[in-house]
């Protein structure tokens, strides 16, 4: 017989969505348990996103996990778009009435969240196995899992599926309920983390004949760089010398140089756009990457995950305060309006900045015209800026 446990909200996954949700609920006096299949060390070291929208920064500060982010995060008020060997700055501050973004690694956010959950008595169970979700079409859903060789059954009022794109929550919803919208791009990103001071103060998005390249960073000492590559590229075919050589070529600009350093980590990521509708079935709510994926060109995945759980936490708080399911019933609709706008932006940035294997000379000229337009028209630059710093919540 499994050991029976009880909580109000059972959360699958301790990524940004799961941990922010758990902390938001705690602050409203709502009890939750998070179950995570990986170890705490793995989650806190996995290199992923780095760009936080102003709204994400504000939320993290409001919920009391912003201290290190405020001290160590790098605040940027613009990005550079580079093409034809020349850079063009998009000035966020001027175009959005003073807004900016903060560079602070996703795994640092997760460390801060885990520390806050531990300090406030939060229950986050790492390295659990065989997680499954049950009975969410009725009023008494359950999460079953194994931990340290023992079986558990967690009884809850609601389940939050925050278990990412490859999680088990979305596939547990009966066939025919969800509609999937999907686009897979014919390229990937080869990403490196390098022990080298960033060669530019702001992020540089480059469109080059040989493909897209991005210069980003984590700290004043550590650079994060990406190259467009084939989706099935073999990472072993890219030794450090080849990576730096390609970065030099694609990022080159007159009077500018790229500083090299030891490569600390490298990997290849596929690129896709994906949405399921609705983001809810019965008492199971999907949030973050379990419900949608964006290609990283717009730097939106983490921010969208945080936006979803803000909506969900507010809806759950209303339910526990008043018994009203009104906001819970609107959860999917509320999130999806914003999700689709962010999908559009991420698709647009991706389409504008990458070389496509099947493109015609017409497409290439059109992309260059688009870049020229975005960097020379205030109206066009404003649409990029207001999406990049983050659209309003509702
Ligand atoms: P996560 O972070 O994938 O967390 C899901 C968690 O669930 C766990 N899990 C399970 N736990 C229990 N049982 C199971 N059966 C489970 N299956 C899975 C997983 O171990 C994991 O800990 O999803 P979440 O919380 O929705 O957060 C989404 C973000 O992580 C993601 O969107 C971003 O990293 C995307 N992203 C970026 N987003 C940004 O906002 N700004 C960026 O600059 C940015 N850059 C990026 C990115 C993603 C990248 N990669 C590697 C995909 C750059 C890259 C290269
Ligand atoms: C990153 O720093 O990892 C990063 C920055 C901007 C993006 C994607 C990733 O668009």
Ligand 1 centroid from CA 344, angstroms: 20
Residue 393's pLDDT is 81
Q: Which atom of ligand 2 is nearest to the CA of 47?
A: 3
| Residue 142 belongs to a domain | yes
Ligand 1 centroid from CA 186, angstroms: 21
Instruction: Assign residue 113 the CATH number of its domain.
Output: 3.50.50.60
Q: Of 104, 377, 198, 156, whose CA–CA distance to 283 is shortest?
A: 156
Residue 48's pLDDT is 87
| Residue 94 belongs to a domain | no
d(CA 235, CA 233): 6
Token pair 């649409």 is at which residue?
383
d(CA 328, CA 280): 9
| Residue 91 belongs to a domain | no
Are 373 and 320 in a shared domain? no
Residue 279's pLDDT is 98
Which two structure tokens, joined as six digits, stand for 265?
A: 């980590």
Question: Is the Cβ atom of 51 under 6 angstroms away from ligand 2?
Answer: yes
Ligand 1 centroid from CA 162, angstroms: 9
Are 322 and 384 in a shared domain? no
Instruction: Assign residue 378 the CATH number of its domain.
Output: 3.30.9.10
Are 60 and 40 in a shared domain? yes
Are 193 and 299 in a shared domain? no
Q: Are 365 and 352 in contact (CB under 8 A)?
A: no
Q: What is the DSSP letter of 192?
A: E
Question: Is the Cβ atom of 107 under 6 angstroms away from ligand 2?
Answer: no
| Residue 89 belongs to a domain | no
Domain that holds residue 42: 3-76+101-181+272-349
Q: In total, how many domains does the chain have?
A: 2
Below-70 pLDDT ranges, the chain: 394
In this structure, the number of other CB atoms found within 10 A of the CB of residue 382 comes to 16
| Residue 195 belongs to a domain | yes
Are 136 and 252 in a shared domain? no
Query: Candidates 92, 198, 203: which one to mutate for ligand 2, based on the most atoms within 8 Å of Cβ?
Result: 203
Q: Give the distance from CA 177 to its chain's centroid.
A: 25
Strands, sheet with 51-53, edge to edge from the N-terminal-most edge strand: 51-53, 101-103, 74-76
Ligand 2 centroid from CA 192, angstroms: 11
Are 207 and 145 in a shared domain? no
Q: Are 53 and 389 in contact (CB under 8 A)?
A: yes
Q: Are 310 and 393 in contact (CB under 8 A)?
A: yes
Residue 71's pLDDT is 97
Q: Are 154 and 134 in contact (CB under 8 A)?
A: no
Residues marked as catalytic? 76, 205, 296, 300, 388
Which two structure tokens, joined as six digits, stand for 221?
A: 């000492």
Query: Candidates 145, 164, 284, 389: which one to mutate for ligand 1, based on the most atoms within 8 Å of Cβ?
Result: 164
The residue contributing the CA closest to ligand 2 atom 7 is 299
| Residue 83 belongs to a domain | no
Label the pairing between strands 74-76 and 292-293.
Answer: unpaired
| Residue 92 belongs to a domain | no
Are 196 and 341 in a shared domain? no
Q: Of 201, 239, 175, 202, whose CA–CA distance to 79 is shortest?
A: 202
The ligand placed nearest to the CA atom of residue 346 is 2
Q: Based on C-alpha coordinates, what's the Rg of the chain?
A: 21
Ligand 1 centroid from CA 289, angstroms: 6
pLDDT digits (tens, 9 = 90+) for 266-303: 999 999 999 999 999 999 999 999 999 999 999 999 99
Are 31 and 162 in a shared domain? yes
Q: Which atom of ligand 2 is nearest to the CA of 51?
A: 5
pLDDT digits (tens, 9 = 90+) for 190-242: 999 999 999 999 999 999 999 999 999 999 999 999 999 999 999 999 999 99
Are 17 and 46 in a shared domain? yes
Using CA atoms, how far residue 356 sits from 188, 352, 353, 365, 388, in Å, is 11, 10, 10, 13, 23
Are 337 and 369 in a shared domain? no
Are 296 and 175 in a shared domain? yes
């Amino acid at each position: 017989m499994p050991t029976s446990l009880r909580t109000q909200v059972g959360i699958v996954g301790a990524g940004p969505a799961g941990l922010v949700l758990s902390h938001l609920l705690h602050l409203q006096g709502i009890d939750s348990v998070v179950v995570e299949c990986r170890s705490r060390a793995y989650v806190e070291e996995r290199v992923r996103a780095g760009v936080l929208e102003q709204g994400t920064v504000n939320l993290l500060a409001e919920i009391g996990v912003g201290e290190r982010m405020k001290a160590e995060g790098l605040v940027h008020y613009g990005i550079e778009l580079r093409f034809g060997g020349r850079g063009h700055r998009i000035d966020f501050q001027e175009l959005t009435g003073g807004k900016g973004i903060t560079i602070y690694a996703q795994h640092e956010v997760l460390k801060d969240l885990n520390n806050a959950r531990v300090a406030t008595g939060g229950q986050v169970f790492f390295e659990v196995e065989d997680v499954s979700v049950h009975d969410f079409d009725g009023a008494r859903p359950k999460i079953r899992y194994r931990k340290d060789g023992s079986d558990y059954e967690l009884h809850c009022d609601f389940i939050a599926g925050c278990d990412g794109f490859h999680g088990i929550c979305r596939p547990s919803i009966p066939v025919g309920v969800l509609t999937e919208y999907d686009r897979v791009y014919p390229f990937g990103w080869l990403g490196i983390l390098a022990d080298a001071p960033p060669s530019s103060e702001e992020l540089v998005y480059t469109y080059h004949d040989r493909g897209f390249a991005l210069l980003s960073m984590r700290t004043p000492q550590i650079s994060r760089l990406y190259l467009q590559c084939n989706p099935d590229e073999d990472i072993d075919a890219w030794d450090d010398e080849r990576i730096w050589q390609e970065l030099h070529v694609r990022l080159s600009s007159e009077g500018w140089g790229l500083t090299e350093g030891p490569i600390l980590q490298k990997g290849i990521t596929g690129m896709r756009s994906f949405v399921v509708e609705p983001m809810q079935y019965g008492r199971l709510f999907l949030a973050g990457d379990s419900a949608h994926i964006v290609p990283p060109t717009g730097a939106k995945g983490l921010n969208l995950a945080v936006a979803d759980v803000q909506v969900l936490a507010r809806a759950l708080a209303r339910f526990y305060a008043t018994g009203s399911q009104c906001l819970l019933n609107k959860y999917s609709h509320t999130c999806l309006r914003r999700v689709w706008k962010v999908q559009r932006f991420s698709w647009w940035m991706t389409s504008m900045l990458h070389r496509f294997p099947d493109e015609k000379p017409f497409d290439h000229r059109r992309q260059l015209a688009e870049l020229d337009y975005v960097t020379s028209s205030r109206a066009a630059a404003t649409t990029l800026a207001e999406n990049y710093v983050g659209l309003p919540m509702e």
